[in-house]
Structure 1
């Protein structure tokens, strides 16, 4: 490392900051999914209908519990802290979050339709996602999905910077800060 490398890194960060400042967003989209429908693997088509024509929609999204009773049921049902689990599928990191926080997950994706299906229903066994259907408690309640489309720029690093800022602000129960 030398001063030239530090200067290059500094210029790169300044350019990223400029890109974040000029980001443009579409209208926020919000949908609610009942735990009953998630357990029954229903409404998968609803995501596609809800986001019709936007299969490759780059966006930052959040998944939250609708209320404190639902978040408690979900947190209690999450299948343990051990990442080397016998459940046969990858699970997101469990964070040491205030139990009263309603945010389950914060993410970003260039293909938000398929990513939401992985979170609400189930993903490939090695994909880190909520896989909510696999462990959803037998309780009433619902989760709310909020999608903030990113119209410009859609650079992956800028999306990650926006996601990380939202993650720090909401401190979700699951997932990790930063890129994969």
Structure 2
């Protein structure tokens, strides 16, 4: 896997990057995603999505089916229930060796630069740690990532079939339909046909 951070991201750069993507990771906490149109752009170009049941992912799953999507993580009602009972990132940290190693790595840092501020944010202190519940979704995320990687390397035919299902199901996300829906449902206008 290659992770690339691009400075000054723009539409012009997106035009180069999105068609090259084979996977799109949409990993928001269920109930926290505002929109999510980026994953639709990846979808229409054949990328498969690793994501939570949130935002535009819900619509994508509705169109392609869960069998053509790599779904992980808590659902919004589960998030709410955990918050109501008191979420504690430290409990996840204490139970998960891999998470402990990651936090220790952040504290140790790289080339003399510590990332202790990130670990404090995740573990809390005076505030609630890990407010986006990354730790709660961590094991599920790792498992779906293993599944996606295994499929990518072991069954190219299945991967390509899933990719084609995503491309073939992306029509509902066309800007024509979106503008028509906004015109009728939000703005209360009747389009003039010419």
TM-score w.r.t. length of structure 1: 0.25
**Structure ranking higher in helix proportion:** 2
The higher relative CO (CA closer than 8 Å, separation ≥ 6) is in 1
**Structure ranking higher in strand proportion:** 1
| Larger CA Rg, structure 1 vs 2 | 2
TM-score w.r.t. length of structure 2: 0.23
